[in-house]
Structure formats: structure tokens, C-alpha cells
Amino acid sequence: MLDVALIPGLPLAGFVILALVGSRLPRRAVAIIGVGSVGLSAAWALLFGAALIASHDVHQSQTLWTWMALPHFEAAIGLSLDRLSLVMVWVVTGVGFLTHLYSIAFMADDEDYARFFAYMNLFVGSMLVLVLADDLLLLYLGWEGVGLCSYLLIAFWYRDPKNVRAAVKAFLVTRIGDAAMAVGLFLLAAYTGTLRIDDLMLRLPHTFPAGAPVVVAAAALLLAGAVGKSAQLPLQVWLPDAMAGPTPVSALIHAATMVTAGVYLIARMQLVFNMAPAVMAVVAWIGLATLLLAGLSALAQRDLKRILAYSTISQLGYMFLALGVGAWTAAIFHLVTHAFFKALLFLCAGVVIKSLHDEHDIAAMGGLRRHMPLVFGAFTVGAASLAGLPLVTAGFYSKDAILQAAWASGPHAAWLWAVALVGALVTSVYAFRALFVVFLGETRREPARVSSLAMSVPLVVLAALALLAGFVQTPSQLGGISVFGGFVGPAVGGQVGQGGGGPGWLLLVASGASLLGLLIAWVLYVRRPATFARLADAPAWVALRQFALEGFGFDRLYDTMIVQPFVYLTRANVGDFVDWLYVCLAEVARLLHGLMSRAQTGRVRWYAAGIALGALLMLGLVVLR
């Protein structure tokens, strides 16, 4: 009955082999093991999942062994496959396999080839454990595991201290969320004696009324964990710096999978969140604020990967918005499409950066469409999907589903929808800005030839998915297809906005925003009117752009308020002030010693006097008593 266990088991086995003997194997073997384990897992997940769907019995649960069984608390290592986790598994293994394939060529010159694939396999294995866990404690194991792999992979090129600093930042910021999440786990375990998700879903509604403080606290703490992992406000500062890792890492971990773990967690625990409407509102508002701020930051960036990083934060904000308004299926739908087009964009960016000898600044790029037409085509598809170009891209359908859900969400719906729409416009602008600046115009630097089959195939596949994956879920005005909603819905519950309950003009406005963004980007970055150039140099504008570039000051805020004082205080106390107490004690002893030894003069007369005095005192005592 180990069918489900094979899915994470294969990549984990790959990790073990590569970790132990990888450095002694030839490159080919490493590639076969590294990519093959994920590929096999993907194939198996596809087949197994399809078989389950065909037999209409998608819910599978396997308890592998008991982890802890105490009188008041139990935890088991168990895997559970249902529709939601099946979708996640497909995304993780699918995009994972393509990224691994791409890495064969991308990392081919790197001397730590085996180490890279070992870490990547460990990551895929941990992510699958996270997604398949049927117990929150096991999920937490996977959660921390992916955090570890993220750290190891960001710091993969460890010789550069900058990379290591970025890795530490990523780990610590997400750890803050993780610690809060752990407290949430304690809370749930203390009240129910279990962290098994099925048990919790059964017992919590029976034990607590909706809105009970316990449930609200649990939801809020779980949200904190999700906010950390998914780089939402206020814990979003780690993701842009995480771009220091190799591009496949950015594509897989920091776009398609690990950062979506927060979204998955909230979707999985939706019962808890449903019982805490206040927290749901917070989710939505966090998502909203994040999507706008990150989008604006993306607009100001010059580093290609940082544009994509902020874009990821922004798109995750959309997912959080969807979750917050109860559109669970829409959130997962966007998660899936985003995984495709964002991974695609990152992989294209990888080719570009590598071919320009590690150049990240888009201002130094240009005219690359002539030199790498395939990449250009792929990037165009990706950018279009990101911008949500109407009708033909997957991004359009998923983003529209979210906008529809925001419109229908109840109080403040207008605000949510309006800001999300503005965000869509901004998204379109920066997406096409990147496309136009990098690929159009004149060639500033000659790129080297880097592309190979291993890199091209994933690009093509992802491009196809970025275009076609949207057609599983369309609004009612455009065909009302509801394959995705119908599939995932029962596992996740809640409305889907399926077919979009909203009026038709919402579609038009959304399309309009996306096209308007395209137009603006065309005008600003291809036509380049002189007025824009003059405006761009105005000091107020420059300052604003700098502020947006730095992520609206969050980094600086945290640095001044938390990091610097912390480092200063701990450094000042290196010698441990508590030790002073004991040093003082020792000094007092030394002092007393000094005093006492004054009595030891070594002189006979002194001692004689002492004897006489003592005798006198004692006689006096005896006589006067």
C-alpha cells in the first residue's frame, strides 16, 4: 500500500543517493538520478492520479507509522491524497521535472553538480511531504524542510558572502512565521490532542462556535506562518534577495512551489479560517496591500530577476486575496497557472542572464529577440499570461476568476476589486516593460549561445501550459467550462466564482486593464517619447522610484529597528553581564583575604598581644556571666 509514499519517496531516495555518493559519480549518472527520480515521481503521480480519478475514489490515506503516541497527544507519519493535494502534486512534480531537466544544461559548468541535484531532490521530496501530509506536524516537517532547501540553494554559490547573507535572511524571516505557526500548532494540539487534519476538521466545529477566540487565534497564527513562507506583507523582504540563488532554484522554489505553500496551507485549513471571518478579512487585506506594493516595486526594478521576484510576491497577493474572500478554487487555479508562467519567465530569464555572462540589469540588455527567438517567444507567452492578456492566456482566466470573486465578496467588495484591477494594470505594464526592454530595441551586448535541448524543451512545454491551462475554467460568458472548479471544488469547498457570477462587463474591464498596460508599456519603452525621458529625471520622481526600488523601505525599517539594535546589544554583552555577579563575589573574597591577612604579621609580639587579649575577653565573659 505504498503507492502514495512513492511520490515523495522517489525524490528523497534520489537525494540520499546523491548526498552519499554523488560527488564520485560521473555527471551523466548524477543527471539521470537527479532528474529521473523527479521524473519518475511525476509520471507515477500522473498515472496514479488519473487512475484514482477514473475510479472516482480520489481520497487515499496511508499511515506509515506512529510518530508519537502520548496519553494526551498523538502524531503519525501519514500521507493523504485528495483532489487538492493531487493538483499540488502534479504542479510540484511537473514543474519540478521540467526545472530539473533545464538544470542539466544550466548547471553543466558548475563543479558542484551533484550537490545541486541532491539539494533539489531533497526540496522536491520535502515539498511533496508538505503537500501530502495528513498531519499538521508532518506538514510542518515538510514546511521546515523546504525552508532548509531554500537556504541551501540560495547559498549554493557560497563563496560569495552576498549569497549567504541572502540565504540567512530568507531562513530567518520565514522562521519568524514558522515560530508563530508552531504556537498555532501548540494551541490546536493542546485543545484537541491531535494535529491530524481530518480529526481537526471534524472536532473543531463540534467543539467551538464560529468566531471563538481559540479558533481565531489558531487561524491567525497559521496565517502568520503562511505570510512568512509566501512572502506577504510584512514578511516579504526575503524573496527579492533570494534571487541570489541559481535561476532554476528561483523558478522552482521561489515562484512555483515553496512560496505557494502558504496558499496551500490556508486552503487546506479552510475550515479553521471559515470559522474565523475576522482572520479571513485580514488575509484578503494583506493580499491586497501586497499585490499593489509589490507590483509597484516590480515596476521600479532594473534587475530582471528582481522584477520577477516582486511579481511573484504580487501574484501571491492575488492568491491571498482570493483566499480571503472565500474563493478557494480561484486561488488554487491562479496558483497553478502562475506556477506555469512564472517558472517559464524565470527559466527564460536564466537563459538570458547566462548568455550575457551573468548580467542582470535590463538596461544592459536589448534586442535579444534576434539572437534567441525561442526564448523570445517563450518570454512573450509568459509575460502575456502574467499580464492576463484576454482570451488566449491562462493567466487571464485565473486572474479574472479572482477579480470576479473580489467583486462578489460583500462589504468593501468595490475597494478590493478596484485595487486588484489597478494591480492588474501595473502587472501588465511591468511584464511588458521587461519584455520590451530585454528583447526589443537594439542589441547592447552580444549574447553567447547557451540554449540546448534540455533548456528548450521545458520552455516549450511551459509556454504551452501557460497558454492552454486556462481553458479548464472559464467564465460563463465564455463557455462556462468548470472542469477545474468541479474537480477541486469538493475538496476545497466555497464558491468558485465558477463561471463568474459577475456581470459581463467585469470581463471587459479586466481585459481592458491588461491591454491598456500593454499599450502603456509600448509607448513608454518602445516609442520612448521625450517627455517621458524628461519626467523620468525629475527629482521627485527619482526619489519615488528609488523608494519603490527598495521595496518601500521595509528592508531599511527592519534593519534600523530590529537588526542593528540586536547585533549591537548582543555584541555589547559578549562577556555576559551575569558573570559580573560572580566576578564581584570573587573580588569580595579577595578583599576579605587582604583584610584577614593583615592580621598575620609574623611578629611574635603581635601574636602574644592577641593571645593576651583573647584570654582577657574570655575571662571577662566567664566572670561577668
Measured from the CB atom, the residue of 204 and 405 that comes closer to other proteins is 204
For the window 435-474, what string marks contact with other proteins as x by the rule CB under 8 A? ----------------------------------------
Beta bridge partners of 76: 66
Measured from the CB atom, the residue of 490 and 501 that comes closer to other proteins is 490
Q: Report the C-alpha gap between 516 and 390 in whole angstroms.
A: 11
Taking CB under 8 A as the criterion, which residues in 524-563 touch other proteins? Answer: none
Sequence-ordered list of residues with C-beta below 8 angstroms from that of 216, at least 6 positions apart, any chain = 276, 278, 279
Q: Which residue has the cell 465558477?
A: 498
Measured from the CB atom, the residue of 109 and 576 that comes closer to other proteins is 576
Least separation, in Å, of the C-beta of 570 and other proteins? 4
- Amino acid type, 422: V
Least separation, in Å, of the C-beta of 602 and other proteins? 3
Sequence-ordered list of residues with C-beta below 8 angstroms from that of 473, at least 6 positions apart, any chain = 329, 333, 397, 398, 401, 481, 482, 483, 484, 485, 496, 498
**Cα dist. 492→268, 299, 321, 331, 606 in Å?**
7, 34, 16, 10, 95
- Amino acid type, 122: L
Least separation, in Å, of the C-beta of 249 and other proteins? 16
Q: Is 579 in the site for other proteins (CB under 8 A)?
A: yes
Beta bridge partners of 77: 65
Q: Minimal CA–CA distance to 305: which of 258, 262, 373, 356?
A: 356
Task: Please answer whether residues 402 and 330 qualify as being in contact, where contact means their C-beta atoms are separated by less than 8 angstroms.
Answer: yes
Q: Report the C-alpha gap between 397 and 510 in whole angstroms.
A: 10
For the window 369-408, what string marks contact with other proteins as x by the rule CB under 8 A? ----------------------------------------
Least separation, in Å, of the C-beta of 543 and other proteins? 34
**Cα dist. 468→372, 396, 518 in Å?**
23, 11, 21
For the window 54-83, what string marks contact with other proteins as x by the rule CB under 8 A? -----x-x---xxxxxxxxxx--x----x-
Taking CB under 8 A as the criterion, which residues in 464-523 touch other proteins? Answer: 489-493
Taking CB under 8 A as the criterion, which residues in 83-122 touch other proteins? Answer: none
Using the rule CB under 8 A, give the single segment among 25-33, 201-209, 347-355, 418-426 that binds other proteins: 201-209
Least separation, in Å, of the C-beta of 140 and other proteins? 6
Q: Is 13 in the site for other proteins (CB under 8 A)?
A: no
Taking CB under 8 A as the criterion, which residues in 137-196 touch other proteins? Answer: 137, 140-141, 144-145, 148, 151, 155, 158-159, 161, 164-165, 167-168, 171-172, 175-176, 178-180, 182-183, 185-187, 189-194, 196
Measured from the CB atom, the residue of 161 and 539 that comes closer to other proteins is 161
Considering CB under 8 A, how many residues would be counted as binding other proteins? 87
Q: Is 5 in the site for other proteins (CB under 8 A)?
A: no
Q: Which residue has the cell 540563488?
A: 245
Applying CB under 8 A, among 483, 608, 617, 619 the residue interacting with other proteins is 608
Give Rg (Cα) of the chain: 30
Taking CB under 8 A as the criterion, which residues in 222-281 touch other proteins? Answer: 271, 274
* Region for residue 301 given its phi and psi (left: phi exceeds 0; alpha: psi -120 to 50; beta: otherwise): beta
Taking CB under 8 A as the criterion, which residues in 18-57 touch other proteins? Answer: 23
Least separation, in Å, of the C-beta of 275 and other proteins? 8
**Cα dist. 128→16, 133, 227, 333 in Å?**
16, 8, 20, 19
Applying CB under 8 A, among 453, 578, 621, 623 the residue interacting with other proteins is 578
